[in-house]
Amino acid sequence: MLSVAGLTADIGRIPVLKGVSISVAPGETVALLGRNGVGKTSTLRAVLGLLRRTGGSVSYQGQDLGGLAPHRLAALGLGYVPQGRGIFPLLTVEDNLCLGLKGKPPADLFAELYERFPRLAERRRQAAGTLSGGEQQILAIARCLIMRPSLIMLDEPTEGIMPKLVSQIRTEIAAIAKRGIAVLIVEQNLRTALRLADRVYLMERGQVVHEATPAALRETPDTVHRYLGVAL
């Protein structure tokens, strides 16, 4: 579905990605793990063309994304929930939800979404900036879902969220995967990542250095400690 091969990118003159190769199959949940600053967010941004790619290739459902303008990727089914949620605080909840839609959204889609996220329905006319951090994250995910993506990329979805809401976010992400939508998740919370993912990539210094299933990773705590600096 998503195939990234030898991806390189720079920020200024500093190379941040040095040949990243990853893949995500339809319906699969893949986690990208690593310490701060190893290139996880840059990988997502480079896939989407938000960070200029200097080499390598990115293809999605067999289509090379190299020559496509970044704003055209959403229409191909690539959804993105950025780090920090990317909510537009001065727009209403409903304006945020409709932002990526070309026309009026079908009423049934809204009804389904509001049934699933009743807090958003209650606050649909409210400025999104007045929502709590957890509600904003739900809004960011809902805004992505309303565009009917086939792959969602989530960057640190539980960062800065109250601990009691983390499990709700985790449940939502699991529900997305159950619906057959592929998920590529960047996550600092190792427990969350291992619980959600079918497959895990570990990154270090702009490269993928290890690939494993969560079960395999649990059996190699040395690897986890070496690349993530934490104990399982």
Summarize as ranges the residues that interact with other proteins (CB under 8 A). 45, 48, 50, 69-75, 80, 82, 86, 88-91, 95, 98-100, 102, 143, 147
Task: Name which of 110 and 227 has its Cβ closer to other proteins.
Answer: 110
Task: Name which of 13 and 164 has its Cβ closer to other proteins.
Answer: 13
d(CA 108, CA 204): 44
Task: Name which of 125 and 164 has its Cβ closer to other proteins.
Answer: 125
Closest approach, Cβ 2 to other proteins, in A, equals 15
Closest approach, Cβ 103 to other proteins, in A, equals 9
81 closest CA partner among 171, 185, 161, 176: 185
Contacts of 80 (CB under 8 A, 6+ apart): 44, 48, 74, 86, 144, 152, 153, 155
Residue type, position 218, single letter: R
Closest approach, Cβ 177 to other proteins, in A, equals 20
Task: Name which of 143 and 210 has its Cβ closer to other proteins.
Answer: 143
Closest approach, Cβ 175 to other proteins, in A, equals 21
Question: Residue 107, Cβ neighbours under 10 Å: how many?
Answer: 8
d(CA 121, CA 93): 9
Closest approach, Cβ 191 to other proteins, in A, equals 27
d(CA 167, CA 161): 10
Point out which residues pair with 211 in neighbouring strands.
Answer: 201
Closest approach, Cβ 36 to other proteins, in A, equals 20
d(CA 232, CA 222): 9
Task: Name which of 75 and 230 has its Cβ closer to other proteins.
Answer: 75
Cβ atoms of residues 158 and 128 within 8 Å? no
Task: Name which of 151 and 224 has its Cβ closer to other proteins.
Answer: 151
